[in-house]
Structure formats: C-alpha cells, structure tokens
Amino acid sequence: MRAGVIVFPGSNCDRDVAVALEQTTGRPTTMIWHRDTALPPLDLIVVPGGFAFGDYLRAGAIAAQSPVMREVKARAAAGAYVLGICNGFQVLTEAGLLEGVLMRNTGLRFVCRDVYLRVDNAATAFTRGYGQGQVVRMPIAHNEGNFYADAATLDRLAAEGRIVFSYCDAEGHSDVATNPNGAQRHIAGIVNRGGNVLGLMPHPERLADPLLGGTDGRAMFEGLLAAVAA
C-alpha cells in the first residue's frame, strides 16, 4: 500500500500516523506539504490530526482551501482511500468530502482521554479488520469534536450504514454519559457514500503499538492494507 500523509502548518500527528503506517506497510510513507499539488500515485491519503492553520476561522476551514486539498478531492473522486483523523476529519467536512460539521464540545473543554467506540459498520475498507459491533479503545484529544448535521442528513447517514464509529461504554452501550463531546447520535466517525473517505475524531495511530499501551487502532491500517491488496 502506497500511503501519503498531508502536512499543514500546525499538523502535529503527521509523524505518528506515518510511523503507524510504516509498521503496517513495511514501506516509507510519503509526507506531502500542503502547497504540493503534484502527488505521486497513492492508495491512501491521510489528513492527520493537529491544529492546521491554528484552527483560525473554524477548525479545518483554512486547510480545506489549501492547494493540496484540490488534489485530495480529485484522488478521492478517482477512488483513492482518504482517512481524516481528528483535525483531519474537520478538514474533510470543511472541504465537502464528508457531511456535517465538528462543533465546539458541549462541555467547552478540550477532552484528552481514551474512549470506547463501537464499530457500527465493519464492512468498510477502513473497518474490515474489526468485527461488526466490536468495542475498541482509542484516544481522543480535541476541542471541536461535537458532530452536527441536520436531522435529514443524520437519518441518511444512519440508513446508509455510514455511521462507522460511535462513542459507547465498554459493553457497547451509548448514552449521554459515554458521549465525550455532545456529538449528535454519539457519532465518532462517518464514511462517504463511496466508502473510500472516512473521518473520525479518535486517533487510531495513537494505539497502534503495544509500546503505546494498546493496539486497537492497528486493525484500521491492516484493514486498509488488505483492502488495497484485494
């Protein structure tokens, strides 16, 4: 799998995800500066976490208009896998590649801790390494993770199986107490209609090695590797 990671001024999880990808793929990850527009052939493009452009205006808004994102949109339209993690999820919604908006957490606090997630759709390329309904643990670290979309959009996402990860407890039950940021319908991650663009607030790359305290995130990268090889 040929993987690339977009780097914006203010990205800070770009190297973490590159390491996680290299451990999975066994080959170097291409780092792509936001001004670059000539990308090499890539099977997977990651828009990493961080605070691209200082979250000025709205989280992800300035990054979504950067030159490289035009190319990312073109690659997504051509079928490449695009994964937006945390700030990357915010960038993908602002770029129009995914529905909704990540608003300020309802608790008005930056939340940085591990959460449980339920895999609501294990049939995507990103989640084929997990079981349907499996509960996994991943870290979150964000101030704007409160997923919002209008009711019609939420209904459509649910009906189409595009809500991929939901916040829950260790048994897989979701309620207000297990929702760290006020996200509508406890949504932690969604996929586009084509199934090749996924955004999620939690950080799979931060629990992708036993040295980091867990490996629940690793199955996402392994799943993508298998999907590309298939």
Active site members: 86, 203, 205
- Minimum CB distance to other proteins smaller for 12 or for 106: 106
Interaction between residue 73 and other proteins (CB under 8 A): no
- Residue 112 binding other proteins, by CB under 8 A: no
Q: Which is nearer to other proteins, 30 or 181 (CB)?
A: 181
Stretch that binds other proteins, among 27-35, 45-53, 75-83, 105-113 (CB under 8 A): 105-113
Of 39, 101, 158, 212, the one binding other proteins by CB under 8 A: 101
Count other C-beta atoms under 10 Å from residue 182's C-beta.
17
Tell me how far, at minimum, the Cβ of 78 lies from other proteins, in Å: 23
**Which residues in the 144-203 window bind other proteins by CB under 8 A?**
146, 148-150, 182
CA atoms of 18 and 225, how far apart (whole Å): 14
Q: Does 57 bind other proteins (CB under 8 A)?
A: yes
Q: Please report, as a single letter, which amino acid is at residue 98.
A: L
Q: With binding defined as CB under 8 A, does residue 111 bind other proteins?
A: no
Give the residue with the Cβ less far from other proteins, 57 or 112. 57
23 is a site residue for other proteins (CB under 8 A) = no
* Listed ranges 3-11, 20-28, 55-63, 118-126: which one lies at the site for other proteins (CB under 8 A): 55-63
107 binds other proteins (CB under 8 A): yes
Torsion of CA 127, 133, 139, 144, to 10 degrees: 90
Q: Rounded to the nearest whole angstrom, what is the least distance from the CB of residue 47 to other proteins in the complex?
A: 17
Of the pair 23, 65, the CB lying nearest other proteins is at 65
**Residue 2 or 58: which CB sits closer to other proteins?**
58
Q: Rule CB under 8 A: say whether 67 interacts with other proteins.
A: no
Three-class SS of the chain: CCEEEEECCCECCHHHHHHHHHHHHCCCCEEEECCCCCCCCCCEEEECCECHHHHCCCCCHHHHCCHHHHHHHHHHHCCCEEEEECHHHHHHHHCCCCCCEEECCCCCCCEEEEEEEEECCCCCCCCCCCCCCCEEEEEEEECCCEEECCHHHHHHHHHCCCEEEEEECCCCCCCHHHCCCCCHHHEEEEECCCCCEEEECCCHHHHCEHHHCECCCHHHHHHHHHHHHC
Give the footprint of other proteins on this chain (CB under 8 A).
57-58, 61, 65, 94, 99-101, 103-108, 146, 148-150, 182
